[in-house]
C-alpha cells in the first residue's frame, strides 16, 4: 500500500531539504512539484501548452533553480488551466510504491488531500531571504522583496492558494538546524506509518 507525504510551504522554508531527507530515510520517491511550474514558465510561449507538453528533458534544465525561474513559476502557477494540466501527473506520482514525498504549495490541500502525512514548513521571510540570497549569491534585500511578492501572489491566487491543510503539522524552521527540522519530520512520518500499519492489522 503506497504511503504519501505531502509537504507544503513558501520558498526557502526548507521544505525541499526536508522532502529529500525523508525520501532517503524511508526509501520513497521524491517529486519537487515546483520544478514542474518552473519548467513550464521557463519554456516560454503559451503556458498551458507548455504544461501539457512537459518532458523529462524540460525538468532537467540547469536554469530552473534561478530566481527568474521561480518568479516565472509563480506567475504560471496562478493559471487554473496550467494547474489542471499538471494535477494528473502529480497524483499518479503520489501513489507510487512503496511511497512518495511531494513538496510544493498545494499538495496537502489540492493534489493529495488524503495524504497519510502532511507537513507545512515555514520560516520568517527575513530568514528565508537570507537563505535564498546565500544559495544564489544574491542581495538579501532584493531577495526579501522578491520573496514577499511571490508569497503574496501564491497566497492570494484564486487557483489553489498556498495555505496549510487543516490536518497539517506546522514546522517553523526559522531557528531550527537542518538536522532538527529533519528529525521532527521523520518523527511525524513514523507516527503516520505506525497509524497506517495499526489500522491495517
What range defines the domain where residue 170 resides? 3-199
Tell whether residue 9 is among the known ligand binding residues. Answer: yes
Exposed, middle or buried: residue 7 (CB in 10 Å: 0-12, 13-18, 19+)? buried
Number of domains in the chain: 1
Residue 201 has pLDDT above 80, yes or no: no
Strand arrangement, sheet containing 29-32: 29-32, 99-104, 3-8, 117-122, 169-172
Task: Summarize pLDDT for 107-123 with one digit per residue, the tens.
Answer: 999 999 999 999 999 99
> Which H/E stretch holds residue 8?
strand 3-8
Tell whether residue 66 is among the known ligand binding residues. Answer: no
Task: Summarize pLDDT for 121-178 with one digit per residue, the tens.
Answer: 999 999 999 999 998 899 999 999 999 998 998 888 888 889 999 999 999 999 999 9
Tell whether residue 174 is among the known ligand binding residues. Answer: no
Distance CA 56, CA 50 (A): 13
The CATH number covering residue 20 comes to 3.40.50.300
Tell whether residue 19 is among the known ligand binding residues. Answer: no
Amino acid at each position: 500500500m503506497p504511503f504519501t507525504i505531502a509537504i507544503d510551504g513558501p520558498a526557502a522554508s526548507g521544505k525541499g531539504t526536508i522532502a529529500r531527507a525523508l525520501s532517503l530515510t524511508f526509501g520513497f520517491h521524491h517529486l519537487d512539484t515546483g520544478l514542474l511550474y518552473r519548467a513550464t514558465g521557463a519554456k516560454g510561449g503559451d503556458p498551458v501548452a507548455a504544461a501539457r507538453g512537459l518532458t523529462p528533458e524540460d525538468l532537467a534544465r540547469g536554469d530552473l533553480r534561478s530566481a527568474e525561474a521561480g518568479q516565472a513559476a509563480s506567475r504560471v502557477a496562478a493559471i487554473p488551466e496550467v494547474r489542471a494540466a499538471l494535477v494528473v501527473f502529480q497524483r499518479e506520482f503520489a501513489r507510487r510504491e512503496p511511497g512518495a514525498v511531494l513538496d510544493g504549495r498545494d499538495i496537502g490541500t489540492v493534489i493529495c488531500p488524503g495524504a497519510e502525512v502532511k507537513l507545512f514548513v515555514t520560516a520568517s521571510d527575513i530568514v528565508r531571504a537570507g537563505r535564498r540570497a546565500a544559495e544564489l549569491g544574491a542581495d538579501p534585500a532584493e531577495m526579501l522583496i522578491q520573496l514577499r511578492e511571490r508569497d503574496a501572489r501564491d497566497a492570494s491566487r484564486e487557483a489553489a492558494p498556498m495555505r496549510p491543510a487543516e490536518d497539517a503539522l506546522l514546522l517553523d524552521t526559522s531557528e531550527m538546524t537542518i538536522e532538527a527540522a529533519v528529525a521532527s519530520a521523520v518523527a511525524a512520518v513514523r507516527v503516520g506509518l505506525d497509524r497506517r500499519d495499526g489500522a491495517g492489522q
